[in-house]
Structure 1
Amino acid sequence: MEPEEYSAIEARLKQTTTSRNRLIREFSKPVMEKLDSMGIRYELKSRTKSIHSIWQKMKRQGVAFEEVFDIFAIRIIIDTDPELEKSSCWQVYSVVTDIYQPDPSRMRDWISVPRTNGYESLHITVVTPAGRWVEVQIRTRRMDEIAEKGLAAHFRYKGIKGEGGLDAWMTQMREVLGTVEKEGSDFLGNIRPGLYADEVFVFTPKGEVRQLPVGATLLDFAFDIHTEVGSKCIGGKINGRNVQLKHKLQNGDHVSVITSSKQTPKRDWLSFVITNKARTKIKQALNEEKFKLAADGKEMLTRRLKNWKIPYGDAIVVKLLTEYGFKTSQDLYFSIAIGETDLLQIKKVLLRTEEQPEETTARTPDHHQHEETNISDYLIVDEKVEGLDYKLARCCNPVFGDRIFGFVTVLEGIKIHRATCPNADFMISNFPYRVVRARWTRLDSARGFLAQIRLTGVENLGIVSRITEILAEYKGVAVKNFTYSMNNGLFEGRIELLVPNINLLYSIIKKIQSVRGITRVTRVES
């Protein structure tokens, strides 16, 4: 930022101080009155963005100072018991959104799913009657202490007192700092142990600090810098010494990465990287590479079929899947592209005359009748369903525990659908040979599955507050979005949330159904 730009923004902030303070007072007044009437203990603060943050936003969005709508933010800090933190935050959320219209797309729920650094807060953006957008941050006193003071507050709130934990380390720090003859390396060695037991801090060639989990490798570091750097990494140097991709990092390492334009992600990389970012990007690259090769394999097959005067179609693909035991057409095409499956052998398979033609029948998912069948007849689906072989269908969003079936697509592997999917009848009637029976491995999972609930009822005081309280009661449930409207005495709402299994979803639906004023709660089918 140039000095002239800094001075210009500083001057505009000073010029708008009076109007900004008036807006803060007008915005806060009805919120404070409502919170006071409810007996909620809180502190309301306002903060103005730093000049540098405002300048960054102006540059990033290409707007003038007047068009930066969130120059200031309101922070509501709640004093509450530890076991009531989550429900208290959602209670204040309902108060604010009852008064001001929220923008659902800008909601950030870091209470249900905290950031990796431990940050917890509920961020919403609302609009005033005058059309001004205001960001509101809702958090408890504990959350605010940790957000402002970091690790020290984290230890304090865990109840570590006396000469244990942080206090013992602080005592050691005072002793070390009081011993002036200590060498620099001894000093660093004394203060480092125990502070970040689960993390390592390393330096980039530019001197920037990077924080990674203990056990992270050079390749994890490369992906942390940038996806392209990780994908092209062939090795690196740590403290000036050449190391391999799987070399584990230590605190204080100076790390540089060596790349090659010819390098591509390898499957064996997954055996030693440990960060989610690295694993996700490697899998994504492998998927993309497989799709590219599969496209080449499909083109090779269709060209040969044309030469053999055999019409290409779903029936041909399914026959080859059955013959060779592939799960998806992608696997078949990929095998052809890399030469594992011989095209001349495919020709023999397709042209041979069978004495008893195979009868193709559809297994229609039965919603009511249980059929005793060997488990091997089913496609087994677990919580790691998102992979190379199958994906969850977005048309019906199956949740762990739903009755499901698989449908073999041409390009995207097997899609997992709910038995009650709106598209089920069409798929079963028109493509019975592509329907695969499927079942979950168990009726519980740690991951979250997307589900949507539709609410209808009559307008009633506190209806939103009660719903948010119910949602806050459930551990393992994350609210992605909650929108509602009240018109002419009628209430309509829609909740988008992540749930671990179907039983918990039905429990939430049943409990919301009991809220006064709610007349109907249904799961959105599509």
Structure 2
Amino acid sequence: MGPSVQTNTEMVPAQVLVDLVRTYNPNCNVERIEAAYEYGKLMHTGQTRHSGEPYFTHPIAVAMILAEQRLDDDTIITALLHDTVEDTKSTYQAVEKRFGTEVAQLVDGVTKLTNLELSSKDNKQAENFRKLLLAMSKDVRVILVKLSDRLHNMRTIRHMVGPKQERKARETMEIYAPLAGRMGMQWMREELEDLSFRVLNPEARNSIMRRFLTLRKETGDVTPQITQDIRDLLKKAGVEATVLGREKKPYSIWRKMEEKKEGFSRLSDIFGFRIITQSEDDIYAALGLVHRRWRAVPGRFKDYVSQPKSNGYRSIHTTVSGRDGKRVEIQIRTQQMHEVAESGVAAHWSYRNGERAANPFAVDPFKWLEELTEHVANNDMNEEFLEHVKLDMFADQVFCFSPKGDVIKLPRGATPIDFAYAIHTRIGSACVGAKVDGRRVPLWTRLRNGQSVEITTAEGQRPQSTWMDIAVTGRAKSAIRKALREEHRDGFVRLGRELARVALERVGKKATDKALGTAAAHMGIGSAEELLAKIGSAEMTGTELVGVLYPELVRVDELTQEEPAERIIGLEPGQFAQTSACCQPLPGERIVGIATRGSGVLVHRIDCERLVEYEDSLERWIDLRWLDGKRMADQEATIEVTMANDAGVLGRICTLIGEHNSNISNLEFTDRKQDFYRMTIDIEVRDVEHLINVLTAVEADSDVAQVLRKNRNRQTE
């Protein structure tokens, strides 16, 4: 069921760690492990954790978790030293000299992973995911140490301050827990998820725990009863096997309740049982006995023995109506399969009796990694890269068959569109229909394990924008987006040229081919046309273009702007004001301030719907008004434009906005139809009168159906 090391506030002696390693590796190098222990202890002398305990208790705990997984000496030593290079006066060279190049490289890899912000904004997150994959490709043990490091940190997370707890828990839930699952370490995934769940939604977790207590009061502890029923059944038939039973983790139950929209009492995943047999033949013998004794639940059978997961996982899954009609899930596998199911990719390094455990089901971690990253290695688009990694790396898999009998692996929830692109991009792009098990189905149909899928294609067919909502795999989404981008590229280039002209004319410059080519070269973009396409598709703004070509003009413009506090009357000395993003108040509108912690005041329009949240805190309200006088056009407002899908319309709208001395800072399409487009445009204006002038000019265009001022909580015509 996974390692059972408990968090210990006292420093575990080196001998306890060594004795644990000796249980599976009597030939371990005791002197190296003890030397690493003493070196780490020395380097961390004087450092404490948030709990106040000596910091070195953490590296020891990480080493103990890895020792429970029966890992090699170098991994154990890396765990003891994994924070020395980052947090102490130790260096890479010092670690290399004392413990060898392999350990130094592992420590360096863990240090680099610790510094990655995997929950940051998409562009940075994409680059950091690349670095994570790079570290994994060098040695998967780096990830094993990092996962164990995160597990111990989550076990002791109660000592962190609230905001940091939530950030760590969310990152664990979104990245590290799925990664552990994808590596086959299901026990670790479940514990990481449940520890995160405790932080992110304690009320829901407590609700699940209360239901467990109620269930036990009503029926008693049924786990040992059902376990004994299965043991008796197997013993009577002469099948030698170990039977283990348990209640599922609260988060696992909560997720199933959310997915299936079912109540606690109707779930079949509350109790889980494992039958660990002596041979593969006994797996199917045990399965037959279980199905003859209890009624199998239709649609709840999976054979991962004949179709193993890419991380080596093999097992039979079935759900039956057991004692008193309660649904229980049963997994059946051999002992060797069980070891891989518990350790996943880590099984490759597992030791037994001083030697690497020769497990025929353990996957080569380097082949596993190659398969994991085969579709993302050459992808340069950050957004598409993230889709590949998050979907292809973290999703559970289903196996479907082509008409020729080829097995196509897809993530859970995949559709015929994903299946078509998995065969070939050409097949996906020309797809017009699909048959599943011989029956025609809509393209949005979710595929299930074992289904046969046949794709119908037509010459001249092109990917549709609606496919983006149907596809779930990174490969399909990337190909669809690329096709749509190429289809709209000419329009984006024309729009980008107009946006560039308006932005540069605002600072008295012209959008010449020479200027655009220079900006493209400075930004590492292939050509001026590609630069214009990025501006037209809102991947970058005209302001960014001006900043690249004429940074001094941008700086001068920024220096001449008044601070918000100087524009507003009613603030106390030392207070500073910030306009609220929800209603984007403009000079000329009635405003009110809401005092925040410290000296900050958040400025809202008097009719902002968010103010209802502060009705019980009237002491925080501050009466404010705008200072009269001339202003620069630097107040942001968002408008929504619905316009005809005709050539030249976008360019005219951008020109109108520019002619009214307003700068476009961002543009995004929110809806594309055959005849009309809808888009939101962030513009910079002086005051509410300036905004009304811009709205009036845009609305007067014959191809504009509607223009609104758009806020995050309301729209105003």
| Class of the TM-score when normalised by the shorter of the 2 chains | 0.3 to 0.5
Higher RCO by CA contacts (8 Å cutoff, separation 6 or greater): 1
TM-score by structure 1 length? 0.33
- Greater helix share, 1 or 2? 2
- Greater strand share, 1 or 2? 1
